Chain A
Amino acid sequence: MPAIHSFFDTPSPAGLTGVKAWLLTHDHKRLGIMYLWAVLFWFTVALTVGFLLRIELMTIGKTIMSAEIYNSAFTLHGVIMIFLFVIPAIPAIFGNFFLPIQLGTNDVFFPRLNLLSWYLYMFGGLLAIISLFTAGGFPDTGWTFYVPFSVGTNNNVPLTVFAAFILGMSSMLTGLNFITTVHRMRHKAMGWMQIPLFTWSLYATAWVQLLATPVISITLLLVIFERAFNIGLFDPDKGGDPLLYQHLFWMYSHPAVYVMILPGMGVISEIIPTFSRKAIFGYKAIVISSLGIAVAGSLVWAHHMYTSGMSDTAVFVFSLLTFLVAIPTAVKVFSWVSTMYKASIEMTPPLLYALVFIYLFSVGGLTGLVLGAAGTDIHVHDTHFVVSHFHFTMFGGTGFAFFAALHFWWPKMFGIMYNFKRAYIAATLATVGFMFHYVPMFILGMQGMPRRYYDYLPQFAQGNALAAAGGLLLFVGIMLMLINLVLSFRKREISSINPWGGVTLEWTVPSPPPLHNFVAEPNVKEYPYDFSEILTAENAGKKGQVTP
């Protein structure tokens, strides 16, 4: 039998060697790795900016930056985190790498569009960098670019907004590719109810990406037109309607939070059964809830606008609808917890991150109900309560799901294992830091401290000092986690094909996978989370162990 080369080691065709083998690749796995490094770069930048913001707020008055820089810094933090990290992170990295493998196929349906999508992502990021240093500097509008301020401010709104437009195109192309791949490329033996839950979640996400992103794209272009040609679209001084902007913006940006969280939920749905050695509880319910979140999440955008002057009828209707989203989300949480009930649980770093996800995301989700209810929202609207809620869902949720995915699939992507002890320490530091960082913000918000303000009253000093200390711990924890992963390249502890005892198709191929993913015809199981073979092998002492 000939030796099986991984996709890293497969010789490139003539003329496509060296760096060209990466920059002109159509291989979904190489593109996933290219996204990984780009996304991690942006994540580190935005994390550092966020950390500096917290240091600034540690004491009353100026600590390390001026008010103008502070305004641009929180905008920069938001824009990078949203458009360059949270939205693309899981779909672009792990989706690209694992969706085709989980479907039993050799690539995505449009490999060239996949490459174009990566270039658009890089181009969008480059424009964001350029906008920092040109024409008035980075915007001070916040990542929402609300009019009329974004139409009037002298900072470089058009270029940043155009960067977001380009990044939106990248996101849409990825979504289009995933939908088409699921429909047209999945193994002929794989029916809809045999698709792994991570791929299901990407499928639901892709629809939201494809349908909602054009709305923000055109809206952002209209902001540029309004600034350039003085047309009265959104600015009331020119006869425009600022609420129209808010409607259009949130028509995308609220579904976008489900673009951010759904893939994370998919990751958790893979990790929990794997380390519980048990079929996932309620497979169909999770599938339906993914689609339910995609649909219901598209009905609730105006719950961001309760205090905007929108009609009371709209406030009532959107508040009512917002509560609907809680149902499919709760179905997932119940399913994960039920899967672990009476299971033979094996603790590993990915599972620890997944468990932290469930806890933090549940807090984020439940505080979302406080904001979804119109009465209570009016009290805490635009306060630190919102900041904390949002970070509990997007950082405690998607962020920790991303960390879980990194630790879960790292041995498959690179064929090497990381140090467990450092991973546990990093996870614990990050989680404790997270709690100390964001819980004080809930309290500050309830006490009335507004978000996005440079300075605050003396009664908020204690909470802000505590949040800064927690922020430091969180920052150190995440840096340790990233360093631990990078250090695995130095030690090169070789991982087996199936170090965790997973049952989806990616655990049947070599680590890292070969160029065309499968060396033999994939064996699609009747039920994707059937652990009977793994348990039999484990009982017989044949479990694929991490080999040094």
Chain B
Amino acid sequence: MQNDAPQHLMGYKTLAAVLAILLMLTGITVGVSYVDLGIMNVPLALGIASTKVTFVLLFFMHLKYEGKAIKVSFLCTIFFLAIMISFTFWDVAFR
């Protein structure tokens, strides 16, 4: 499609809210680093980081307001990365 559709504009309120959430999650990341959760240390840190990434993608990078093709395209990149990492485990885990 030729790109003649008007661009989606976001209000400062939404942007500020997302920024506040990101800063809060950064604070939580720093906070939990002082608590030893044993085996859950890494999954929790990764979980918080992934949540932050999701906010950035959805709002700052406008993924929430894009069409289906762009969303599917993006998910494909995640899928591809997951394949590259996980399939290597067929070798490493059973070597």
In angstroms, how far is the closest chain A Cβ from the Cβ of B88? 5
B1 at the interface (CB under 8 A from A): yes
- Chain A residue at minimal CB-CB distance from B66: A183
Chain A, interface SS category: helix
Decide: B95 and A310 in contact? CB cutoff 8 A: yes
In angstroms, how far is the closest chain A Cβ from the Cβ of B65? 15
How many residues in A have their beta carbons less than 8 Å from beta carbons of B?
26
Decide: A314 and B94 in contact? CB cutoff 8 A: yes
B12 at the interface (CB under 8 A from A): no
How long is the Cα–Cα vector from A548 to B84 in the complex, in angstroms?
55
Which one of A187, A299, A302, A314 contacts B2 once the chains associate, using CB atoms below 8 Å? Answer: A187
Tell me which residues across on chain B come within 8 A of A188, comparing CB atoms: 1-2, 4
Tell me which residues across on chain A come within 8 A of B36, comparing CB atoms: none
Which one of B3, B70, B90 contacts A314 once the chains associate, using CB atoms below 8 Å? Answer: B90
A312 at the interface (CB under 8 A from B): yes
In A290-337, which residues have CB < 8 Å from any B CB? 298-299, 302, 309-314, 317-318
Tell me which residues across on chain B come within 8 A of A179, comparing CB atoms: 73
Decide: A311 and B1 in contact? CB cutoff 8 A: no
Interface string of B57-95 (1 = CB under 8 A from A): 000000000000110010011001001100110111111
Tell me which residues across on chain A come within 8 A of B2, comparing CB atoms: 105, 184-188
Decide: A298 and B94 in contact? CB cutoff 8 A: no
Decide: A251 and B84 in contact? CB cutoff 8 A: yes
Decide: A313 and B1 in contact? CB cutoff 8 A: no
Decide: B1 and A310 in contact? CB cutoff 8 A: no
Tell me which residues across on chain B come within 8 A of A183, comparing CB atoms: 1, 69-70, 73
Interface string of A17-49 (1 = CB under 8 A from B): 000000000000000000000000000000000
Tell me which residues across on chain A come within 8 A of B88, comparing CB atoms: 247
In angstroms, how far is the closest chain B Cβ from the Cβ of A79? 24
In angstroms, how far is the closest chain A Cβ from the Cβ of B74? 11
Tell me which residues across on chain A come within 8 A of B70, comparing CB atoms: 183
Decide: A311 and B90 in contact? CB cutoff 8 A: yes
How long is the Cα–Cα vector from A309 to B76 in the complex, in angstroms?
31
- Chain B residue at minimal CB-CB distance from A241: B92
Given contacts A183-B70, A314-B90, contact A298 B95 (CB under 8 A): no
Tell me which residues across on chain A come within 8 A of B4, comparing CB atoms: 188
In angstroms, how far is the closest chain B Cβ from the Cβ of A127? 27
How long is the Cα–Cα vector from A186 to B94 in the complex, in angstroms?
48
How long is the Cα–Cα vector from A89 to B73 in the complex, in angstroms?
25
- Chain A residue at minimal CB-CB distance from B69: A183
Chain B, interface SS category: helix
Decide: B90 and A299 in contact? CB cutoff 8 A: no
Decide: B95 and A186 in contact? CB cutoff 8 A: no
Tell me which residues across on chain B come within 8 A of A69, comparing CB atoms: none
In angstroms, how far is the closest chain A Cβ from the Cβ of B77? 6
A207 at the interface (CB under 8 A from B): yes
Which one of B73, B76, B95 contacts A311 once the chains associate, using CB atoms below 8 Å? Answer: B95
Decide: B1 and A184 in contact? CB cutoff 8 A: yes
How long is the Cα–Cα vector from A318 to B90 in the complex, in angstroms?
9
In B46-60, which residues have CB < 8 Å from any A CB? none
Decide: A298 and B83 in contact? CB cutoff 8 A: yes
Decide: A298 and B1 in contact? CB cutoff 8 A: no
Given contacts A251-B84, A317-B90, contact A211 B77 (CB under 8 A): yes
A130 at the interface (CB under 8 A from B): no
How long is the Cα–Cα vector from A247 to B94 in the complex, in angstroms?
15
- Chain B residue at minimal CB-CB distance from A179: B73
Given contacts A184-B3, A185-B2, A215-B84, contact A314 B91 (CB under 8 A): yes
A243 at the interface (CB under 8 A from B): yes
In A179-207, which residues have CB < 8 Å from any B CB? 179, 183-188, 207
Most buried by B among A243, A299, A314: A314
How long is the Cα–Cα vector from A426 to B80 in the complex, in angstroms?
42
Tell me which residues across on chain B come within 8 A of A311, comparing CB atoms: 90-95
How long is the Cα–Cα vector from A251 to B1 in the complex, in angstroms?
33
Decide: B94 and A313 in contact? CB cutoff 8 A: yes
Decide: B80 and A298 in contact? CB cutoff 8 A: yes
Further 11 A-B residue pairs, CB within 8 A, beyond A251-B84, A314-B91: A183-B1, A183-B73, A298-B80, A298-B83, A302-B90, A302-B91, A309-B95, A311-B95, A312-B94, A313-B90, A313-B93
Q: List 16 A-B contacts (CB under 8 A).
A: A179-B73, A183-B70, A184-B1, A186-B1, A188-B4, A211-B80, A215-B84, A299-B87, A302-B87, A310-B95, A311-B92, A311-B94, A313-B91, A314-B90, A314-B95, A318-B90
Chain A interfacial positions (CB closer than 8 Å to B): 105, 179, 183-188, 207, 211-212, 215, 243, 247, 251, 298-299, 302, 309-314, 317-318
Chain B interfacial positions (CB closer than 8 Å to A): 1-4, 69-70, 73, 76-77, 80, 83-84, 87-88, 90-95
5 tightest A-B CB contacts, nearest first: A313-B94, A311-B94, A314-B91, A314-B90, A311-B95
